[in-house]
Structure 1
């Protein structure tokens, strides 16, 4: 009798555990974990109370709504984003990430949703007028670790001294204080930091690359979610979703870019 009772109890316990696992799996299916570094306004940032906000946050929420999933934003340091994607801690990266051949070796990307080019924030007294002026012995360039500006400096600025920092703000301070001659980053960031430091910096916004950089949503290799993300991006471009983001967060910058004849993000 005890054996029968034990067998019945074991079977019931297995059913309960199985049910809990099924519920957990079902719950996970309804949640979309999106990783981003909340340190790049107006794309990725946080409000005073810590609530994530910005273009990428709005983008993630719109994507989640179209997929019928609740979006959870995971604030992760830049160099931890791709490892977090690979290990399954997050489902996607939407963090103004440039699509590169090197990154595509280990992760997949959606179709591009935005484009940008590198630019230079130069110290006003540096004499820097072009990228060639930075590639000179004695010149110092600041870059953010892991960014495409960092990659560009390693590949093409062999004669300059390259200072690598974890944060964008640290790079800007180096230029403002004259410790670095220039900071290489995307055009919008350069424009915004110049607007805050007009007395000490000069923005060189014209692209010095052969072709623009394209941003994409990063996805784990061979994840079928890529097709759904691609479809959403195509639709969002057609129905004006991205234009709405630009008007909400980037109206002043867009006017400046249009005036200078520089292609805008969306």
Structure 2
């Protein structure tokens, strides 16, 4: 009798377990068409592209673009703020799904990750101390000259390749590079045009800007993703095409870059989002 009772109890427990498991699976299965959240890596220290508002919330051009992409994909977006030189390792280890952080497409980076179609173009430019004799990029390639660069950026890479006679001062933060120029400890800071323009306007008494392009080749910004995410790449490229056709980038320019665009138009310098694709 005890044996029969034990068997019956086991059967009851087994049925209950299956029933509970079935209910749990039913409740946690995503609805058809739902996707997991899109985790976007960026360094929120690069206004007006990636920054935080007064409450500490992510904002800026790249943030708006990320949320528009999430809406297009039907996926919630989570912004992960991290150091710029940690973005590619985080992507490769699966901590984030994409990089949307004003990242230039380079052959070196393409060895590790893939990129979307470019959505913007950028030139390197110089923030120069007003007392420095530097008038053009070539003037930096002289012993005794000093240039500040942000670690891991294309400005850093370009300086190492093209300024063998200049002392290259490497810093982790943009603000540190700017401070070196403002205080006269460095002749110049090399970064993209938008950043140089902003810092020149913030420090007009101590700096001047060389915005005219000096590179032989354009730099393009793209969205970084893992090499095996081919479907996601196709979706992102489709989104960028539609976003541009619908005037999305024009709206971003009006919202965040109206003054810059006016200045660049007056100087006859091609603007950031004016790219043919």
- Aligned mate of 1:236, from 243, 251, 269: 243
Aligned positions, number: 265
Question: Partner of 2:228 in structure 1?
Answer: 222
Deviation at 1:89, TM superposition (A): 1.4
Matches of 1:190 and 1:93, distance apart in 2: 23
Question: Partner of 1:200 in structure 2?
Answer: 206
Deviation at 1:19, TM superposition (A): 5.4
- Aligned mate of 2:269, from 257, 262, 266: 262
On the 8 A contact 1:56/1:94 being kept in 2, the answer is yes
Question: Partner of 1:139 in structure 2?
Answer: 145
Per-residue CA deviation, residues 25-52 of structure 1 (Å, 9 max, x unaligned), is x97x241111111111111110011111
1:14-25 counterparts in 2 under 5 A?
15=22, 22=29
Query: What are the ranges of 5 or more consecutive residues in structure 1 without an aligned counterpart?
Result: none
Runs of 4+ in structure 1 over 6 Å off: none
Instruction: Tell me the SS of whatever aligns to 1:59.
Output: helix
The 3 A distance-change label for structure 1 pair 86 and 16 is farther
Answering whether residue 260 of structure 2 is matched by residue 253 of structure 1, we say: yes
The 3 A distance-change label for structure 1 pair 135 and 17 is farther
Answering whether residue 153 of structure 2 is matched by residue 111 of structure 1, we say: no
Question: Partner of 1:45 in structure 2?
Answer: 51
Query: What are the ranges of 5 or more consecutive residues in structure 2 without an aligned counterpart?
Result: 1-6
Over the aligned positions, Cα root-mean-square deviation in angstroms equals 1.9
Question: Partner of 1:176 in structure 2?
Answer: 182
Matches of 1:157 and 1:12, distance apart in 2: 70
- Aligned mate of 1:157, from 137, 160, 163: 163
Instruction: Tell me the SS of whatever aligns to 1:102.
Output: helix
Specify the structure having the higher radius of gyration (Cα). 2
Deviation at 1:177, TM superposition (A): 0.3
On the 8 A contact 1:110/1:226 being kept in 2, the answer is yes
Deviation at 1:4, TM superposition (A): 3.2
Instruction: Tell me the SS of whatever aligns to 2:139.
Output: helix
